[in-house]
Structure 1
Amino acid sequence: MLRQKLGWMGVVTLLPALAACGESSGAGAAGGGGAGQTASTGAETSTGSGAGGASGSTSGSGAGAGGASASTGGAGGTSASAGGAGGAGTGGSGGDGTPGAPQGFILGADISWVQEREAGGKVFRDIDPRTGALVEKDILEILKAHGFNWIRLRLFNDPTAVYADAAVDDDPYSREGFCDLEHTIEMARRVKRANMGFLLDFHYSDVWADPDDQHKPVAWTDLEGGALASAMREFTRDAIEQLSAAGARPDMVQIGNEIPQGLLWPDGFVTGQAFQGLGSLLKAGIQGVKDADDTITVMLHLDRCDDNAATRWWVDGVLGQGVKFDVLGQSCYTEYQGPPSGWKANFDDLVKRYPDLKFVVAEYSWEKRAANDLMFNLPDKRGLGTFIWEPTEWHERIFSPNGDIIESMIAPYDQMKVDYQGF
């Protein structure tokens, strides 16, 4: 799909537990009206409520018409926070000091290009509500002001590598290595400092992976079978451990990008009912996540938002191989997956057919309100939220080419920020 989208490139719960073990740091935010907000600094959480008070000086955030909350981490000691009057407090942090993912509905954005564009001198500007003038701000500050609370970042194995395979583009995706682990750690740390949720998207390739392109990275060209699965597991584990050590622990991890025909071809290619190769690789990648942190939510990602039969074939196939995951993501573009009515019909069936799964619109551009309403209205909060794909520069973008916010494009998010409270 990315080659179709980018011709010139050639191309949970919210979370069952958001904390890692260790000692937390940082100030808790002041709590707000309503029920007590959960805080966490380790493997356990607890929520309190009560009357008034200031926030504590560790990881959590109080909420409520007051409301104290406290939690004890396995190796991290105890943290507490007490709510005060006002708006809802922010989420707690992981036991390593990494802020936890925000609670509630996900309004997410994949902004993986931003780091490279900023390195080239691009800046972003928002409208000052007092003067109406455009003011330069950090991209994350702008997105948060308009309701976004999660960021998705793609990870390539080695984007500076050049494939020997003539079927793949001769030029590397990025000679500077953007979207490699080093750059992703840097960007993910910014996301965490902004107290936003972080979805890490493993492509398991040196360049774009999508339904038409699932090439092995150069370093794995000669690997197959168990050796390939081991490399995938180790790469996954190492990436998450390095991110966590840097204070940028992912809150959700995506194993592969748009993989209806599998990944790491030919080993993980799917045809008919032959899911064995894909199943082995998916289990290896998921085990790599669990090796690093078994509390991280795992998502698998298709581009069959309008195709219920194909989605069921695929999900049944991987479940039949013993693959265990938490969230099914779908790409939902009107250009490729038709109108939202088809998306709804598919999700309405999936939510009944697979009671243990939750759902995300992992990519979209057009039909912004429809995509979000679809997830928001799935029963029992089974629709976790959405991630708009590259809103700074692709299709129905919310920023102009020179980095200015487009008022008409951001307006739906300002409204959803209000409408989705209390999710």
Structure 2
Amino acid sequence: MKKLLLLLPSLLLMISCTDDNNTAANEPIIPDDNFIRAADMSFLPLIESENTTYFNSNNQTENALTTLKNAGCNTIRIRLWKNPIDSQSSFNQVKTFAQRVKQAGMKVWLTVHYSDTWADPGQQSIPTEWENLSFTNLKNEVINYTETIMTEIQPDIIQIGNEINSGLMWPQGHLINNENQCLELLNVACSTVRTQSPSTKIMLHYAGIGAGATWFFNKMTSIPYDYIGLSYYPIWHGKNLSELTSTINSLGQTHNKKVMVAETSYPFTLGWNDWTNNVVGLQEQIIPAYPATPEGQKNYMVTIKNLIQQTESGIGFGYWGGEWVAFRGNESPNGSSWENQALWDFDNKALPVMTVFKKDE
């Protein structure tokens, strides 16, 4: 995710534990529901392990996946790290969580960071166990690892890298310094997915819009992928929604791909619910037309959804950090930097923004 999140030491202290109780009801996925209405819920296993309770809009205790499914969410995004030091987002945890998502009747969108920790435009650290490999051996490891992911987790959508504006697995896969090697790594990963599961959709993910996104995806023309993924946050990528629209249209038409706003979020308040510094907390960081209120958060997301649907190439959206409530108490210095942008309020009750997941008839 974001560079600011890399500064949170709390993430290095998390204890691995999953809770498979109270999973959502087993419901079939609607096969013709093509517009992706997704939520990244990667923190949920950790938050559940620390005995956090979520409530639906009727203030009834409810499993978070159930609340999302009932709201109309059809896809859950999950990040995967290679060998995290605290087992959060590890292979085994993600495999178990992905099974829960499938049992709940939603699709699995896997974000493979190809790193042991956060990968984003400011950091793309190669997994420690791959650091000293030759480039040939690195490619082989990428192939084997990707094969294992496809065989054991079987995602519906797989994202090759996370916000790979300057490549992945630095320094060997740096897009600026080692462009050919970066493209080779992306090619072997994508080709492995194609071989293992031709029906799985492959996404490449860029953080931002405008000229930078144009430059990046022009570099990717040799890669066999399906979806263009964009991160769009007003705090980092500007407040011009017209530029977001034009970027989606331009990229889709130029590359004949479907385009998704893979990450976005918005605050329902500028306040806070723990002592962990929030990423967004100032009026100048948001769009004036959408105040930091529950209704403003909802209206922002409805606008984003409608904007995507009105483009020729838009295929869906993903809400990031919706589960990341202040789960360690209101005085915790290592809780959440995102609780004022969650999909649940400071009492862990589902917010009105949940209606954005509703399927349009």
- TM-score, normalisation: structure 1: 0.67
Asked if 1:326 corresponds to 2:232, the answer is no
Task: Specify whether residues 417 and 218 from structure 1 end up closer, same or farther in structure 2 by C-alpha distance, changes over 3 A only.
Answer: same
Deviations 1:146-172 (A, max 9, x none): 121110000000112xxxxxxxxxxxx
Task: Specify whether residues 262 and 219 from structure 1 end up closer, same or farther in structure 2 by C-alpha distance, changes over 3 A only.
Answer: same
SS in structure 2 of the partner of residue 328 of structure 1: strand
Asked if 1:295 corresponds to 2:199, the answer is yes
* In 2: Cα distance, 1:115 partner to 1:266 partner: 32
Q: 1:360, 1:383 within 8 Å by CA — same for their partners in 2?
A: yes
Task: Specify whether residues 403 and 6 from structure 1 end up closer, same or farther in structure 2 by C-alpha distance, changes over 3 A only.
Answer: farther
SS in structure 2 of the partner of residue 135 of structure 1: coil
Q: 2:226, 2:258 within 8 Å by CA — same for their partners in 1?
A: yes
Residue 83 of structure 2 is matched in structure 1 by 158
SS in structure 1 of the partner of residue 242 of structure 2: helix
Higher strand fraction (1 or 2): 1
Structure with bigger gyration radius: 1
Q: 1:301, 1:328 within 8 Å by CA — same for their partners in 2?
A: yes
Segments of 4+ moved more than 3 angstroms:
none
- The one-letter amino acid of 2:68's match is L
Cα deviation for residue 401 of structure 1 reads 4.4
Deviations 1:160-195 (A, max 9, x none): 2xxxxxxxxxxxxx2xx1211101111111110111
Deviations 1:82-120 (A, max 9, x none): xxxxxxxx535xxxxxxxxx6231110000000111011
Cα deviation for residue 224 of structure 1 reads 3.3
Cα deviation for residue 145 of structure 1 reads 1.5
Residue 236 of structure 1 is matched in structure 2 by 146
Task: Specify whether residues 376 and 157 from structure 1 end up closer, same or farther in structure 2 by C-alpha distance, changes over 3 A only.
Answer: same
Q: 1:233, 1:286 within 8 Å by CA — same for their partners in 2?
A: no
* In 2: Cα distance, 1:153 partner to 1:294 partner: 21
SS in structure 2 of the partner of residue 329 of structure 1: strand
- What are structure 2's unaligned runs of at least 5 residues? 12-25, 267-299, 325-337
Q: 1:204, 1:217 within 8 Å by CA — same for their partners in 2?
A: yes
Task: Specify whether residues 303 and 9 from structure 1 end up closer, same or farther in structure 2 by C-alpha distance, changes over 3 A only.
Answer: farther
* TM alignment of 1:298-317, pairs within 5 A: 298-305=202-209, 307=210, 309-317=211-219
Q: What is the percent sequence identity of the aligned residues? A: 26
Deviations 1:356-375 (A, max 9, x none): 21111110002312221222
- The one-letter amino acid of 1:337's match is H
Q: 2:161, 2:205 within 8 Å by CA — same for their partners in 1?
A: yes
- The one-letter amino acid of 1:362's match is A
Q: 2:163, 2:206 within 8 Å by CA — same for their partners in 1?
A: yes
Q: Which gives a bigger RCO, structure 1 or 2 (Cα 8 Å, sep 6+)?
A: 2
* In 1: Cα distance, 2:304 partner to 2:121 partner: 21
- The one-letter amino acid of 1:365's match is S
Asked if 1:204 corresponds to 2:114, the answer is yes
* TM alignment of 1:344-423, pairs within 5 A: 344-354=245-255, 356-366=256-266, 367-379=300-312, 382-393=313-324, 394=338, 395-406=340-351, 408-410=352-354, 412-413=355-356, 417=358, 420-421=360-361
- TM-score, normalisation: structure 2: 0.78
Q: Aligned match of 1:119 in 31, 49, 72?
A: 49
* In 2: Cα distance, 1:196 partner to 1:231 partner: 30
* TM alignment of 1:80-95, pairs within 5 A: 90-91=29-30
- The one-letter amino acid of 1:91's match is I
- The one-letter amino acid of 1:347's match is I
Q: 2:323, 2:342 within 8 Å by CA — same for their partners in 1?
A: yes
- The one-letter amino acid of 1:369's match is V
Cα deviation for residue 390 of structure 1 reads 1.3
- The one-letter amino acid of 2:304's match is A
- The one-letter amino acid of 1:357's match is K
Task: Specify whether residues 9 and 373 from structure 1 end up closer, same or farther in structure 2 by C-alpha distance, changes over 3 A only.
Answer: farther
Task: Specify whether residues 318 and 91 from structure 1 end up closer, same or farther in structure 2 by C-alpha distance, changes over 3 A only.
Answer: same
* In 1: Cα distance, 2:134 partner to 2:214 partner: 28
Cα deviation for residue 206 of structure 1 reads 0.6
Q: Aligned match of 1:250 in 132, 140, 155?
A: 155
Q: Aligned match of 1:184 in 75, 84, 94?
A: 94
* In 2: Cα distance, 1:301 partner to 1:230 partner: 23
- The one-letter amino acid of 1:256's match is G
Cα deviation for residue 219 of structure 1 reads 0.9
Deviations 1:237-267 (A, max 9, x none): 1112112xxxxx2111000000010000011
Q: 1:301, 1:329 within 8 Å by CA — same for their partners in 2?
A: yes
* In 1: Cα distance, 2:108 partner to 2:140 partner: 25
Number of positions where the alignment pairs a residue of Structure 1 with one of Structure 2: 299
SS in structure 1 of the partner of residue 83 of structure 2: coil
RMSD: 2.1
Cα deviation for residue 10 of structure 1 reads 8.3
